[in-house]
Amino acid sequence: MADTHAHDTQHHHGADAAHPPGGHATWQTYVIVGVILTVITAVEVGIFYIEAMAGVLVPILLLLSALKFFIVVFWYMHLKFDSKIYSRVFFAPLFLATLVVIGMVILFKVLPRYGVG
Amino acid sequence: MANTAVVHEHPHHPEPYTATGLPTLKLGFWVFLGSETLFFGSLISMYMVYKHESVVGPYSTELLDIPLTSISTFVLLMSSLAMVIALDQVQQGSRRGGAIGIAAVAVLGSLFLGFQAYEFTHFYHEGLTLQTNLFGSSFFVLTGFHGAHVSLGVIWLLVLLIQLLRGGLPPGKSLQLEIAGLYWHFVDIVWIAIFTLVYLIE
């Protein structure tokens, strides 16, 4: 039987040439990512205390939080370099979970304000 | 061709591979992490619906300590950095580097749990328990389950650390540490969501 199976390491073929074939990224890249995550967290906490930002605080915080989330998922969890199958089995339920959160908030917090529900 | 079994072993990796060409353990673990997003999504939904529905105090705005939680968030982020460096070291065959990295993750994870224990104790002394109000119930359930996941991760990493020090985690078996790393980073991304939705957004 011919072995036509692709192997897990093949995903590296599409990765950045600067990344070593055995690993997903260099430790220097990981440190830079760590610094970026720290800076974003500091910005989140900083704008939390700026009263002038109160009107736009929620969307900015959600955006920054999502940015941190995806940076960790793509670099530290290696989805940027790994097989797309992993991404699919993770992001499909994540999308569903996000819909659940949004749906619950709309049902119990938003609609009652308009006399619905 | 009578035998069409799809489970194979890659010559350089002892873990079985399937028709997808991916290690079953890793693929299965990603499916598990997908199910965990639904679990925590439900808990976060519950918190967001209930947090301002308490009829008696203490309330979230009176108790949540942003500076303290910012430090614990930083600690958990740094533990994720230590985790990827530990995996990198093990994959390169550096037992010492890997051991230092894993130990650092376990220490930082324990430190995060210490922050959480302090926070829970402080809230308890302020009169907030699981039964006090809806904020207390939803807050302790959400952050408590997250803390339980962190605790499990620390224990898992300590087991792997012992295994590594005994020579049982060569580069060819680094998938075991990679799986533990995925779990650890998942715990980190859940906290990223909790920190914003529970602590920063009022």
Tens of pLDDT along chain B (202 residues) come to 444 444 444 544 556 666 778 899 999 999 999 999 999 999 999 999 998 888 888 988 888 999 999 999 999 999 999 999 999 999 999 999 999 999 999 999 999 999 999 999 999 999 999 999 999 999 999 999 999 999 999 999 999 999 999 998 898 889 999 999 999 999 999 999 999 999 999 7
Contacts of A86 in chain B (CB under 8 A): 22, 26-27, 30
**Nearest beta carbon to residue A45 from set B8, B44, B70:** B70
Q: Name which of B8, B79, B179, B189 to mutate to probe chain A: the one with the most chain A Cβ atoms within 10 A of its Cβ.
A: B189
pTM of the entire predicted model: 0.87
Interface of B with A in 9-68 (CB under 8 A): 10, 13, 17-23, 26-27, 30-31, 33-35, 37-38, 40-42, 44-46, 48-49, 66-67
Alpha-carbon distance A46 to nearest alpha carbon in chain B (angstroms): 10
Q: What tokens were used for B115?
A: 């922050």
Asked if the bond preceding B58 is cis, omega within 30° of 0, the reply is: yes
φ, ψ of residue B23 in degrees (nearest 5): -65, 135
Residues 6+ apart with CB under 8 A from B22: A8, A83, A85, A86
Interface of B with A in 72-111 (CB under 8 A): 73-74, 77-78, 80-81, 83-85, 88, 91-92
Q: What tokens were used for A64?
A: 């920054």
Between chains, do A72 and B13 touch, taking CB under 8 Å as contact?
A: no
* Complex ipTM value: 0.88
What gap in Å lies between CA B5 and CA B155, rounded to an integer? 36
Q: Which amino acid is at B78?
A: M
**Nearest beta carbon to residue A104 from set B10, B27, B48:** B48
Q: Of A38, A68, A34, which Cα lies nearest the Cα of B71?
A: A38
Tokens 């990493």, residue located: B157
Tokens 């619905």, residue located: A116
Q: Rounded to whole angstroms, what are the CA distances from A29 to A40, A75, A108, B24, B52? A: 17, 9, 43, 28, 41
